[in-house]
Amino acid sequence: MKKVSVLLCLAVCSSMYVQAQVPAQPNTSANTAPAAGIRERLVELALKNPAFKEIDAAKRKAQYSVKKIKATWLDMIVGSVNFNEITIGKIDRTQYGNLYFPLWNVGINVPLGAFFGKPAEAKMARMDILVAEAKREQVELSTRAMVLTRYEDYLLKKELLRLQSELTEDDLAAFTQAEQKFTTGSIDYDAYSAASKRYNTELVKKITLERDVAVAVIDLEEIIGVKLEEVLAQK
């Protein structure tokens, strides 16, 4: 029994030791949540683009056309009121025998073409509503793809700029050192010139990437309608 107890204790201790050695898994959901939130925020802002106002206006116009067509059926009902000395009672109508002078008249005028034209017009207006809805869905999908693509382009160019900045700083340090050595005569002009050219080449790449990042921001802000830095500050 003592041996069994000792073995159990050893097993429990070994299990606790192994668990303590297992590294904690990083919380990937917490890391990806802010990035996903920024993307959805950008899409939400892009869907408020003025281009959607035109589509929504076309849909409302088609809806009003349907209501107008429905109301035109009332145009077939005609009403009239007769005001004369007989209808208002100033003259005794018995003087005119059996002549009929009604105070008001109601009539219905139904053109035969209305039975075919009005329903067709209503169907066309409803189709315009469907077309506007389909167009909005299509523009929403294309806008979402566009804003996410431009955001990824922005992230790519920003990262390239960061890497290029590090390379440029290294070449600047090498060029500064070469310049000092050339001044003291430790290196010849060819070595100094080579260091200068490498630095200038990397500097041109950095300036070009800075321009690319600025253009990427402009392209993205064109869709979302606000400053990108304002959106990034909300994360």
Closest listed residue to residue 120, CA positions, set 65, 74, 56: 65
Any idea which residue has 């209305």 for tokens?
Answer: 114
Alpha-helix residue ranges (DSSP H) falling in the chain: 2-21, 28-46, 51-71, 114-184, 189-224, 228-233
Does pTM top 0.75 for this prediction?
no
The three-state secondary structure class of 106 is strand
CB 73 within 8 A of CB 88: no
The tally of CA atoms less than 13 A away on the side-chain side of residue 176 is: 6
**Burial classification of residue 28, based on how many CB atoms lie within 10 Å of its CB (0-12 exposed, 13-18 middle, 19 or more buried):** exposed
- pLDDT of 1 reads 39
Closest listed residue to residue 48, CA positions, set 217, 219, 224, 221: 224
- Mean of per-residue pLDDT scores for the chain: 76
Task: State which fold the 49-233 domain adopts.
Answer: Outer membrane efflux proteins (OEP) (1.20.1600)
Task: Tell me which of 28 and 100 has the higher pLDDT.
Answer: 100
What is the domain partition of the chain in residue ranges?
49-233
Mean local confidence (pLDDT), 124-146: 86
Mention every residue, 6+ apart, whose C-beta is less than 8 A from residue 91. 85
How far, CA to CA in Å, does 209 sit from each of 157, 167, 172, 223, 227? 7, 13, 17, 22, 20
pLDDT tens-place string over residues 102-118: 555 555 656 655 556 66
**pLDDT confidence bin for 55, thresholds 50/70/90:** confident
